[in-house]
Amino acid sequence: IDILAFKRMVGSELSGINTYVLETTLSSQRRLLNSFAEGMSSVLPIELLSIFSGEQLRDIFCGNADIDVELLRKVVEYDGYTEDDTVITHFWDVLREMTTSERKLFLQFVWARNRLPLKESDFDAPFKIQKDNKTVGSEEDYPLPSASTCFFSLSLPEYPDKEVLKQKLIFAIENVTTMESDYVTNDVEISEGWRGL
């Protein structure tokens, strides 16, 4: 990594950063960064990276941090339900009303990921919502929704109203034990970046 080129690239953003600290940090990471750049160049010409901003590169490599409900809706398939069923309408309404962090938990629950691809064609498989026909013990004893992360699918019982669906879905996504139980910790580490070290 060329430190002078890096300084020119970020320009005015360096005004508050000690140049010595920057040079020391980049120099100590040079071997790692050069290996990364070499690996990237085997897939994509490095020269093309300069046409993207840092945020655009992050979105291309990591996916969109905002969970786009309409994008998810474009790739859905139904099994036992149709798009016009009341429970499905309630499901999409509940998903739209969720906070970004709740949507990330939902995505982690159904797909073991917390970001969506940028566009419809980037999905490997459709999101599947299937009807869960578990029997209900009593009027208020509805089962929780379940998911299969390998198949990007949600088994959704036919809840009587939007509030029951919301309550059960939120409980499920907030209390699930996942295959990757440390993803919450990773979110914290990612948000702090190298400053957290």
The label of the residue with tokens 């996916």 reads: 63
Nearest Cα to 159, choosing from 104, 109, 87, 52? 87
Residues 6+ away with beta carbon under 8 Å from 6: 26
Q: Which helix (H) or strand (E) holds 156?
A: strand 153-157
Neighbours of 86 (CB within 10 A): 14
Residues 6+ away with beta carbon under 8 Å from 9: none
150 carries an active-site annotation: yes
DSSP annotation of 142 reads P
Among the listed residues 150, 171, 186, 189, the single catalytic one is 150
- Positions marked catalytic: 150
